[in-house]
Protein backbone atom coordinates (compact mmCIF):
# COMPACT_ATOMS: atom_id res chain seq x y z
CA UNK A 1 0.00 0.00 0.00
CA UNK A 2 1.35 3.41 -0.95
CA UNK A 3 1.69 6.18 1.58
CA UNK A 4 -0.58 9.20 1.37
CA UNK A 5 1.30 12.50 1.47
CA UNK A 6 -0.89 15.21 2.90
CA UNK A 7 -0.64 18.99 3.04
CA UNK A 8 -3.98 20.61 3.88
CA UNK A 9 -4.12 24.33 4.49
CA UNK A 10 -6.38 26.34 6.79
CA UNK A 11 -9.99 27.17 6.17
CA UNK A 12 -10.15 30.92 5.49
CA UNK A 13 -12.41 31.64 8.48
CA UNK A 14 -10.33 29.85 11.12
CA UNK A 15 -7.13 31.76 11.85
CA UNK A 16 -6.01 29.21 14.48
CA UNK A 17 -6.16 26.18 12.19
CA UNK A 18 -2.84 24.32 11.97
CA UNK A 19 -2.03 22.83 8.54
CA UNK A 20 -1.83 19.05 8.37
CA UNK A 21 1.42 17.79 6.96
CA UNK A 22 2.96 14.38 7.01
CA UNK A 23 2.83 10.92 5.57
CA UNK A 24 -0.10 8.69 6.46
CA UNK A 25 -1.06 5.25 5.19
CA UNK A 26 -4.82 5.80 5.28
CA UNK A 27 -7.47 8.47 5.47
CA UNK A 28 -11.07 7.74 6.47
CA UNK A 29 -14.20 9.78 7.04
CA UNK A 30 -17.13 9.36 9.36
CA UNK A 31 -19.97 11.08 11.12
CA UNK A 32 -22.11 10.81 14.20
CA UNK A 33 -24.91 12.51 16.08
CA UNK A 34 -25.26 13.70 19.64
CA UNK A 35 -28.87 12.66 20.24
CA UNK A 36 -29.44 14.47 23.55
CA UNK A 37 -27.88 17.65 24.89
CA UNK A 38 -25.01 17.09 27.32
CA UNK A 39 -25.00 13.30 26.76
CA UNK A 40 -21.65 12.08 25.38
CA UNK A 41 -21.24 9.64 22.48
CA UNK A 42 -18.09 7.84 21.36
CA UNK A 43 -16.60 8.79 18.03
CA UNK A 44 -16.05 5.04 17.36
CA UNK A 45 -17.48 2.31 19.59
CA UNK A 46 -14.66 -0.17 18.87
CA UNK A 47 -10.90 0.47 19.05
CA UNK A 48 -9.83 2.31 15.89
CA UNK A 49 -6.20 3.25 15.40
CA UNK A 50 -5.43 6.78 14.19
CA UNK A 51 -2.74 9.44 14.41
CA UNK A 52 -4.75 12.59 13.72
CA UNK A 53 -8.46 13.41 13.64
CA UNK A 54 -10.19 16.54 12.35
CA UNK A 55 -13.66 17.04 13.86
CA UNK A 56 -16.12 19.47 12.26
CA UNK A 57 -19.12 21.06 13.95
CA UNK A 58 -21.33 21.80 10.90
CA UNK A 59 -22.62 25.35 10.37
CA UNK A 60 -26.18 23.97 10.55
CA UNK A 61 -25.77 23.15 14.26
CA UNK A 62 -27.33 25.66 16.66
CA UNK A 63 -24.76 25.21 19.44
CA UNK A 64 -21.23 24.07 20.32
CA UNK A 65 -20.07 20.48 20.38
CA UNK A 66 -17.53 19.56 23.04
CA UNK A 67 -14.84 16.88 22.67
CA UNK A 68 -12.96 15.05 25.39
CA UNK A 69 -12.95 11.78 27.30
CA UNK A 70 -16.03 9.90 28.57
CA UNK A 71 -16.67 12.60 31.20
CA UNK A 72 -17.04 15.40 28.61
CA UNK A 73 -19.89 17.87 29.33
CA UNK A 74 -21.21 21.15 28.01
CA UNK A 75 -22.47 22.48 31.33
CA UNK A 76 -20.35 22.71 33.33
CA UNK A 77 -17.80 22.86 30.53
CA UNK A 78 -15.47 19.85 30.65
CA UNK A 79 -13.70 19.40 27.32
CA UNK A 80 -12.85 21.46 24.26
CA UNK A 81 -15.78 23.35 22.70
CA UNK A 82 -16.05 23.71 18.92
CA UNK A 83 -18.30 26.45 17.56
CA UNK A 84 -20.56 25.74 14.56
CA UNK A 85 -18.58 25.96 11.33
CA UNK A 86 -15.22 25.23 12.95
CA UNK A 87 -12.90 22.23 12.89
CA UNK A 88 -10.62 20.99 15.65
CA UNK A 89 -7.52 18.86 15.00
CA UNK A 90 -6.40 16.37 17.62
CA UNK A 91 -3.58 13.84 17.75
CA UNK A 92 -4.93 10.50 18.95
CA UNK A 93 -4.03 6.82 19.06
CA UNK A 94 -7.50 5.25 19.46
CA UNK A 95 -10.76 6.90 18.34
CA UNK A 96 -12.82 4.88 20.84
CA UNK A 97 -11.23 6.96 23.63
CA UNK A 98 -12.69 10.18 22.17
CA UNK A 99 -16.19 11.34 23.17
CA UNK A 100 -18.39 14.19 21.91
CA UNK A 101 -21.40 15.94 23.39
CA UNK A 102 -23.42 18.97 22.35
CA UNK A 103 -25.34 21.89 23.76
CA UNK A 104 -28.58 20.96 21.97
CA UNK A 105 -30.46 17.82 20.94
CA UNK A 106 -29.76 16.07 17.61
CA UNK A 107 -26.41 17.61 16.73
CA UNK A 108 -24.47 15.94 13.90
CA UNK A 109 -20.69 16.04 13.59
CA UNK A 110 -18.29 14.83 10.90
CA UNK A 111 -14.66 13.84 10.95
CA UNK A 112 -11.66 12.70 8.93
CA UNK A 113 -8.94 10.64 10.52
CA UNK A 114 -5.47 9.79 9.30
CA UNK A 115 -3.27 6.84 10.15
Specify the CATH number for 26-114; select among 2.40.160.100, 2.60.120.770, 3.20.20.70, 3.50.30.50: 2.60.120.770
What is the percent of the chain where pLDDT is above 90?
Answer: 73
Inform me whether the pLDDT recorded for 12 exceeds 60.
no
Average pLDDT over residues 63-78: 95
pTM of the model: 0.80
17 vs 25: CA distance, rounded Å: 23
Inform me whether the pLDDT recorded for 102 exceeds 50.
yes
Inform me whether the pLDDT recorded for 55 exceeds 50.
yes
Highest mean pLDDT among 14-18, 44-48, 87-91: 44-48
User: How do the domains of the chain map onto residue ranges?
Assistant: 26-114
14 or 72, higher pLDDT? 72
Amino acid sequence: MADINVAISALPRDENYVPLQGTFRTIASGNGTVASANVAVQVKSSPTQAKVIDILNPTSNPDVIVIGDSSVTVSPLNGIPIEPGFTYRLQVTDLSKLWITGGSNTMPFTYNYFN
